[in-house]
Amino acid sequence: MKLKDIKTFVVGNTSIHRGGPYWVFVKVTTDTGIVGYGEIYGVAFHPKALTAMIDDLFDRHFTGADPFKIERHFRHVYSAGFSQRPDPTVMGIFSGIEMALWDIIGKALDKPVYELLGGQVHERLRSYTYLNAPPEAASNKEVYDDPDAAAERALEYLAQGFTALKFDPARPYTAFDPRQLSMETLDFADRYTARVREAVGARCDILIGTHGEMTPSGALRLARRLEPHDPLWFEEPTPPDNIAGMARVAAGTRIPVATGERLTTKYEFADLLRQDAASILQMNLGRVGGLLEAKKIASMGEAFHAQIAPHLFCGPIVGAANIQLSACSPNFLIMEGIEQWGGFHAEILTTPIRWEEGYIIPPTAPGLGVELNEAVAEAHPYDGTRLQLRMGDEPA
């Protein structure tokens, strides 16, 4: 069996706050007719440029190749261009293609991917969601800026079956960060988190989902405010380009530090673990370097008694890959989802991801266990100008 061609789908998301403005899916076809799907996350180029990069990378390294040779494919893509360093663009594209290769391999062997990466450990996977305003709301500001509205919304999620919720009480995050938070922001973050904790009590974990806004000392100031509310984690308290600074935060707070959505390959995660900068690893399978690379990172984490909590702010095929990784990783903690995986996340798949009372049930179908609904994908092309992810343009 040889790889034949690739097709890219850039799909406009119908709800920007539930996974971003668009998703980038790839379909890889073999000469036997087996197809695999993947998804690319967070590349900082417009999809028109990204599509050309995908075609070039595939033509250069994959056309006519054996899909089973994952290790060789990684080394070629990682090193052959004479970069040999963690590059989020190259690894993002590779992640989507590698994901599709595992989908092909699983289908060829009639096995879910988790059975090929060590076998299933978890029969169900705890999931959390971001604390969003209801879909009919004009803006998420309705809950982001109002602690009482956030508490009310948290209770609605609790009634649905969620046992963990995430929010960022220290916004905004900008291209000029990191910074010291103002006293006003510190006070708001404290009040907001306290109000949500008061509402949910011990029935729900609180996850502090910051985005690298703070300097190490600034993050420690916020952590001292939030420690009485017992969050499960403090996410990306500092930017990912200063692991030593993040390690100082981890050493200075009782809140576990989580990070990883902006890191790629085992090399960056190894540095994180060596410096004891985080105890919860949040790899995004659409950026980190693929499923096999993520499995290696999870295993490294296991040796350091770190747990994994795969990140998701994109489409459901990255989510499907997260499920495959989580199901076969002993040190799985929890995974991010987009609410109950309904709405457009369900519509874009031929069979939706199964969510029950706060847990995801891993599929038993071969490969990634999901199929892209290509008719829906083609009916929702993205024609905007903004990127999938962006920071604020002006200082806070």
Q: How do residues 50-66 score in pLDDT, each as one tens digit?
A: 999 999 999 999 999 99
- Please provide the CATH number assigned to the domain covering 115-366: 3.20.20.120
> In the structure encoding, which two tokens stand for residue 311, read together?
């990140």
- In this predicted structure, what is the pLDDT of residue 135? 84
Query: Is residue 138 pLDDT above 90, yes or no?
Result: no
Burial environment of residue 305 by CB neighbours within 10 A (0 to 12, 13 to 18, 19 or more): exposed
pLDDT-above-90 percentage for the chain? 96
Work out the average pLDDT over 349-360: 97
Does 172 sit behind a cis peptide bond, omega within 30 degrees of 0 on the bond before it?
yes
8 Å CB contact between 396 and 177: yes
- In this predicted structure, what is the pLDDT of residue 348? 98
Q: Is 211 a catalytic residue?
A: yes
- In this predicted structure, what is the pLDDT of residue 215? 98
How do residues 5-57 score in pLDDT, each as one tens digit? 999 999 999 998 899 999 999 999 999 999 999 999 999 999 999 999 999 99
- In this predicted structure, what is the pLDDT of residue 65? 99
How do residues 193-211 score in pLDDT, each as one tens digit? 999 999 999 999 999 999 9
C-alpha distances in angstroms, 320 versus 214, 308, 325, 368? 32, 16, 9, 6
Query: Is residue 137 pLDDT above 90, yes or no?
Result: no
List, by residue range, all CATH 3.30.390.10 domains of the chain. Answer: 3-110
DSSP code per residue over 124-136: SEEEEEE----TT
Q: Which residues contact 105 (CB under 8 A, 6 or more apart)?
A: 36, 67, 68, 113, 116, 367
Which of 73, 229, 311, 345 does the annotation list as catalytic?
Answer: 311
- In this predicted structure, what is the pLDDT of residue 339? 96
pLDDT bin (cut points 50, 70, 90) of residue 316 is: very high
Which of 211, 305, 345, 380 does the annotation list as catalytic?
Answer: 211
- In this predicted structure, what is the pLDDT of residue 67? 99
Work out the average pLDDT over 142-154: 96
Q: Is 311 a catalytic residue?
A: yes
List, by residue range, all CATH 3.20.20.120 domains of the chain. Answer: 115-366
How do residues 306-315 score in pLDDT, each as one tens digit? 999 999 999 9
Query: Is residue 139 pLDDT above 90, yes or no?
Result: no
125/121 Cα distance (integer angstroms): 10
- The CATH homologous superfamily to which domain 3-110 belongs is Enolase-like, N-terminal domain (3.30.390.10)
Query: Is residue 125 pLDDT above 90, yes or no?
Result: yes
- In this predicted structure, what is the pLDDT of residue 342? 96
State the average pLDDT for the chain: 97
How do residues 163-191 score in pLDDT, each as one tens digit? 999 999 999 999 999 999 999 999 999 99
Report which of 282, 383, 371, 334 is spatially closest to residue 128, judged by C-alpha positions: 334
